[in-house]
Structure 1
C-alpha cells in the first residue's frame, strides 16, 4: 500500500521526486536523522522514523512532518538488537507493502583514549553504529532485490576517514560502514539497488552544542569554509543519493573541505 497525502496540489505532486516511496530512517528522532526524515517527507516519501528511547522527540518529528502535509509514522526499535531491527523492517512492510529507501543513521559516541577504553565502550559503539547496519540491511535486502529497486544510504563520518583523538571505537565503526558500503554496492548493483555513504564533518547538532566554545573555535579554525555544517546540508546529500540511479559505492563528503 502506497500512501499519498490527500492535500497535495498537482503542481506539488509533480515537484516531489520521492512521491509514494517508503523510507526508513534509523535514529530519526533527533539531529541529522530528524532533518533527513523531514526532507524526504517534504519530497513525498512515506517516512518511518525509528527511535530507541526518545519517544517524545520522535513524535515531535512526526507532528512537524504532518503539519507540512507529509506522511510519517514512528517505530520504536533498538537496531543494535537484530530481532528489533527486523521488527522495524517487517512493520514497515506490513504497513506500506515495500521499502524503497533505508537510511542507516543511528549512532552514538563513547569517546575515550584507547588505553582507558573499556570493552563495554568498545562493543556498545560497534553494536549501535556498525552491527545495526547489518541488522537492518539484512532484513530489507531481499525485499529490495524483489522490487528491483532500493536506495541504501549509510551515515558514516569524517572520523571514519581521518580518525579522531580518543575515538578509536567510533572511527572503527564509521570506517567499517565505508567498507560495508563499497562491498554491498558491488553485490547489488545488478538488482537496481544503490548503496552509498554520506560522511559528515562537524555538524551543528544538539550533541555538538555540548562541546566547550573554545574547543569549537579550534575545530572551526581547521575547516576551510570556517564554519560548522548544518543538518540541512547533510540531508541534501541524502536526498541527492535517494534520487540518483547511477551512483553507487561512493562516499559523499559533507565537511566544508576539512577532509578531501
Structure 2
C-alpha cells in the first residue's frame, strides 16, 4: 500500500524539513504553499515523489479539490498542519483585521484540513495527524497575542480530536517548538537576536530538522501516542 502524507506550509522552514523527512522515507508527499512558487519548484525538482500545490487553507473548496486529487492515489495516513503566520503587533496599536487573519491562517486552516481529512482516516480505521503549535500558546510575550491565541486554539483542537478519533486508530498529537532557526524567526528576531538568545536557558536555537524529526517520530508511530502535545526546545517551554 502506498504511504501518503500531506504537509501544509511545506515548502519552507519547518514544513520543508518535515516534507523532506517523509519523502526520504518513501512516502508520496503532497505539500501546500501560499505564494512562493520558486520554493515549491525547487522542492519538487529535488524529490520525484513530492508534489507542491498552491492552496489557501481558509478556502474549503480548495481543500476539497486537494482531497480529491490526493484520494485518486489513496487515503493519506499522515496529515501535518504546519502552515501559519505570526502577525505580531501591539493589540491597541494594530487592527483587529490582522488578529482575524492570524486566527484564520493558523487555526481555521488547521480546522479545515482536519475536517476534510479526519473522516477519511476514521473510515480507513488508521491515520496520524500532527498539528504544529508553538511555545507562544502558553508563554505570553508582548505583541504576540494573536499568534498565541491561534496556537492555543490549535492545541485545544488537537486534544479534542484525539479523544474523539482514538477509537478509529487515528492518532492526533501536537508539537510545540520554542525558537526555531527559520525565516519567520529571523524576521521576528531582527535587531534583538542577542536578547532572545540570552532568554533561552541553553543559549541556542533549535534547527528545523530537529522539529521534523519529532513530527516524523509521532506520525510514523515509532513513538505511538495520542492526545499529546510534545514541547521541544532548549528550555523555552519550561514552566
Question: What is the TM-score of this pair, normalised by structure 1?
Answer: 0.87
Q: Does 1:36 align with 2:18?
A: yes
CA–CA separation in structure 1 for the residues paired with 2:206 and 2:233: 7
| Bigger mean CA deviation after superposition, 219-228 or 126-135 | 219-228
Partner of 1:10: none
Structure 2 Cα separation of the partners of residues 214 and 56 of structure 1: 28
**Residue ranges of structure 1 left out of the alignment (5+ in a row):** 3-19
Q: Does the 8 A contact of 2:218 with 2:224 survive in 1?
A: no
**TM-score calculated relative to the size of structure 2:** 0.95
**Alignment-derived partner of residue 231 in structure 2:** 253
The answer as to whether partners of 1:89 and 1:136 remain within 8 angstroms in 2 is: no
Q: Per the alignment, in what secondary structure is the counterpart of residue 131 of structure 2?
A: strand
Cα distance in structure 1, aligned partners of 2:77 and 2:6: 8
Q: Note if 1:188 corresponds to 2:162.
A: no
Question: Are the aligned partners of 2:87 and 2:98 in contact in 1 as well (CA < 8 Å)?
Answer: yes
2:153 to 176, 198, 204: 176
Distance 1:86 1:195 in 2: 21
- The answer to whether structure 1 residue 243 and structure 2 residue 220 are counterparts is yes
Contact 1:77/1:87 (<8 A) preserved: no
1:124 aligns with 2:106: no
Supply the distance in 1 between the matched residues of 2:189 and 2:134 (Cα, whole angstroms).
Answer: 21
Alpha-carbon deviations, 1:170-226, whole Å to 9, x = none? 000000011000010000001010000011111101222235565111111121221
| Whole-angstrom CA distance in 2 between matches of 1:61 and 1:164 | 34
Matched length:
237
Tell me if the contact between 1:195 and 1:249 (Cα under 8 Å) persists in the aligned partners. Answer: yes
- Identify the residue that residue 45 of structure 1 maps to in structure 2: 27
Q: Which residue of 2 aligns with 1:56?
A: 38
State the Cα distance separating 1:25 from its structure 2 match. 0.5
Q: Which residue of 2 aligns with 1:93?
A: 71
Q: Residues 165 and 171 of structure 2 are in contact (CA less than 8 Å); yes or no, is this contact kept in structure 1?
A: yes
Matches within 5 A, 1:222-233: 222-233=199-210
Structure 1 position 65, deviation (Å): 2.3
**Aligned residue for 1:16?**
none
